Structure 1
Amino acid sequence: MLVWLASFPRSGNTFLRIVLSRLYDVPASVIYDYDGVADRLGPELIGAIDRPASLDAMRGSDQVHLIKTHRPRDADVHDDDRAICLVRDGRDALVSWARQLSEDPDRDFRTELTSLIAGTRGTRGWGVNVLSWLDPPVPHRFRLRYEDLIRDPAGAAARIVATLDLPWRLVPGATIPTFAELHATDPGFFRRGHTGTHRDELPDDLHDLFWSHPENATAMTRLGPGFCSGRDHSRRSP
């Protein structure tokens, strides 16, 4: 069985990989040829493995294979594939990704953020990416909000297992590292670890640019009550 772990970048994907690895001893591979996060943080911390077989072979396996992707849902994803769709306020995700990219001294935060909002990378824009996984709504694609994951990671993992009917069992005595522990391993990667970070990092004109993309407004609305709360939302939302 193949299960996608899908999200726009900087939406908690790595933390969820850690949670599932620690609690259920479930490793994850990536759809890409190179796992940059595993290279940066170490495969042991996040439970990373090399992709063991082709996608079709993994689909036909009795074993559950967890595959991380930041891509929009595309031809690699079959309509009946199970998926964990991790979603975060687009403004927070975009700011966090731009901060990570601008760790390189040759790259400017504002320039990177503008480009990311425009959706010029393979992930496409935040709203386009998220909606590709949410539509059409089906029970075998489980939507998990970032704030629910960080508030109660063990409870979020249990809901994933129950909703997708996965044959995983808790590791006795398993623990999840705290954000402070993860931050100490790599403060640039595990940067702030909470919601609403756009409020003091997203410039007003780029906030307007975010809302100017109709897919962003649609996705924010689709994600439910309270998801759109933030600085001057009523003024900036279409």
Structure 2
Amino acid sequence: MSGILWLASFPKSGNTWLRIFIENLFRNSVEPVSINDLGVVRYGDMMGPLYEQLAGKPLDQLNDAEIHALRGPLQKSWASQPETAIAKTHNALMLHEGAPLIHLEHTAGAVYVVRNVYDVTVSYADHYRLGLDDAVEAMTSDLQTTKTSKAAVFQILGTWTDHYRSWHAVENFEPLTLKYESMARSPVKAFGSFMRYLGVPKDPERLKRAIRNSSFSVVAGQEKKTGFRERVHQSQKFFRTGGVGGYRRVLSEDHVKRLTERHYDLLLELGYISKSGTPRI
């Protein structure tokens, strides 16, 4: 099929991990693919050079309105490829200044990776070099955005809840939803569902090899040895811990309470908390 297959997520939710899995799955090599040689997912709607190429001028000569106006033509060009174009995004599926961030007319499907807001907050703090109080404040605010920089164009995130809702509220559009926790704890089942979504023929050995070659220990070891060129922010390492529930050692009870109160409905819906608000992860 032609069109764009979006890999969508709120930042620090496992999008890069899924991309590395895809690379290992498609290449189907015995040895792990280098994290600095990812080519199957060729596009990202935050990639500055793609906008520069289309505009014919450097990113620092484009304002955000001009950048936003290029999203439609850029996505149309990806969708015109003979095969499905797989693209990464952290944008919410919403309008910005009256125009879409994600153009569904150029979209073939989507995979949405969701991770519990508590672990996201800790990873978000490390990634953007924020104190925990500031990270919790950000994760409980009404609207989150990222600014255009040399590395990436601006993105509109919304809240953790609103981001998820935006991708799951469009009529006749049903993304495959992968929970980060399932990817970590039940990888064969989680990544197997992704293979079925893509229509890749069932091959248990190929699946297990791709899972093994994209495991946290493998990619963290690669980053330690060679670095990760996509690490453009100030965190010391991109692949930090990769675990589930690590927030319990970091966040205070007040932090957890504030995050729970802000995102209670979705946390309950996704099974991350009990009705009393107690985290289950």
TM-score of the aligned structures, taking structure 1 as reference length: 0.74
Residue pairs, 1:205-224, within 5 angstroms: 205-213=254-262, 216-223=263-270
Query: Per the alignment, in what secondary structure is the counterpart of residue 110 of structure 1?
Result: helix
Which whole-Å CA distance do the structure 1 matches of 2:24 and 2:198 have between them? 19
Change (3 A) 1:131 1:195: same
1:150 CA drift (Å): 2.1
The equivalent position to 1:194 in structure 2, one of 214, 226, 243, is: 243
Change (3 A) 1:13 1:137: farther
The equivalent position to 1:145 in structure 2, one of 170, 179, 203, is: 179
1:111 CA drift (Å): 1.9
CA contact 1:87–1:146 (8 Å) conserved in 2: yes
Which whole-Å CA distance do the structure 2 matches of 1:178 and 1:73 have between them? 29
Question: Letter of the aligned partner of 1:116 in structure 2?
Answer: M
CA contact 2:43–2:87 (8 Å) conserved in 1: yes
CA contact 1:11–1:146 (8 Å) conserved in 2: yes
1:210 CA drift (Å): 1.3
The equivalent residue for 1:94 is 121
Change (3 A) 1:12 1:235: closer
1:212 CA drift (Å): 2.8
CA distances 1:170-191 after superposition (whole Å, capped 9, x unpaired) = 69x7551432232232573211
1:78 aligns with 2:80: no
The equivalent residue for 2:43 is 29
CA distances 1:64-121 after superposition (whole Å, capped 9, x unpaired) = 111111111122231764000001111111121112222xxxx433223322332542
Give the total of aligned pairs: 210
CA distances 1:147-172 after superposition (whole Å, capped 9, x unpaired) = 1212344543332232244699969x
The equivalent residue for 1:183 is 220
CA contact 1:2–1:82 (8 Å) conserved in 2: yes
Which whole-Å CA distance do the structure 2 matches of 1:2 and 1:168 have between them? 23
Query: Per the alignment, in what secondary structure is the counterpart of residue 118 of structure 1?
Result: coil
Query: Per the alignment, in what secondary structure is the counterpart of residue 54 of structure 1?
Result: helix
The equivalent position to 1:19 in structure 2, one of 5, 21, 25, is: 21
Structure 2 spans left out of the alignment, 5+ residues:
28-39, 50-70, 95-99, 146-156, 225-235
The equivalent position to 2:164 in structure 1, one of 115, 122, 130, is: 130
The equivalent position to 1:59 in structure 2, one of 79, 93, 114, is: 79
TM-score of the aligned structures, taking structure 2 as reference length: 0.64
Larger Rg: 2
| Identical residues among aligned pairs (%) | 24
